[in-house]
Amino acid sequence: MNDIMINAKNIMKSFGSTEVLKDISFTLEKGHVLSIIGPSGSGKSTLLRILTQLETADAGSLELVGKPLFTNVDGKAVYENIAQRRELNLKTGLVFQNFNLFPHFSVLRNITEAQRAVLKRDKDEAEAKAMDLLKKMNLADKAKSYPCELSGGQKQRVSIARALAMDPEILFFDEPTSALDPELTLEVLKVIRGLAEEKMTMVVVTHEMNFAKGSSDEALFMDGGVIVEKGNPTELFDNPKEERLRRFLNTFNA
């Protein structure tokens, strides 16, 4: 079980009387990329928010990097203590669709702030880490710029650098290209593909079907709060078993 980075079992979540997630179960191995696809309102983002502790589950169990975040006790999700939750939070990184950069901080400070405040790195170490990542993102010349001076694609690459600066073991992406035009989308997907080649464990909620098919180890299709179909991406896209998935994919091929 050491190589299982995410082990989700029977996760359920409701908002009032609306069941948003119904019995969600899946695993993800170390170094693998999982793409989660599905129509708006299918529960993808809620699942991602539970995996990254931005939302709490009602029932089920979840292990991250081999340690429990919550377990199912008498039909309810019971969370671990604060120390364990914080430890697991530090092992995950999240890249938002709308960048979430601090507008009044330079690019460099956006990447060093959490390193210094949370990981207690000194200024020189944090800045060296940030500059290494900016070079990797082809943004070394933007270190002193502010978010308002960047394109959407550049902002998203800074967001990815900021998440990587915390040395996460699992990196989550919530529709990382939905706010970008096609040209900028390609530059962000290129970065994510590069991370996949480096065997970074990632979960990507995406509408980019070519990415999901070509750059994932596994794909998962959600609709109506359930996992309708999951498995090998090529199989999923070329030979979908479920009619609902076939209809969904046809909307992209129309």
User: Which pLDDT belongs to residue 1?
Assistant: 44
Beta-carbon contacts of 156 under 8 Å, excluding residues fewer than 6 positions away, are: 95, 99, 176, 177, 179, 180, 184, 188
Where do the DSSP E strands lie in the chain?
A: 4-15, 18-29, 33-37, 59-64, 67-73, 76-79, 92-95, 170-174, 201-205, 218-223, 226-231
**What is the model's pLDDT at position 253?**
67
Tens-place pLDDT, residues 187-216: 889 999 999 999 999 999 999 998 999 999
Nearest residue to 79 (alpha-carbon basis) of 93, 60, 94? 60
Predicted confidence at residue 96, as pLDDT, reads 87
What pLDDT was estimated at residue 86? Answer: 95
Of 202, 216, 215, 212, the closest CA to residue 245 belongs to 212
pLDDT computed for residue 2 by the predictor: 55
Over the chain (254 residues), the average pLDDT of each successive run of 10 is 87 95 96 95 94 96 97 95 96 90 96 95 96 95 96 93 96 89 87 93 93 93 96 93 93 69
pLDDT of residue 186: 87
Q: What is the pLDDT of residue 180?
A: 84
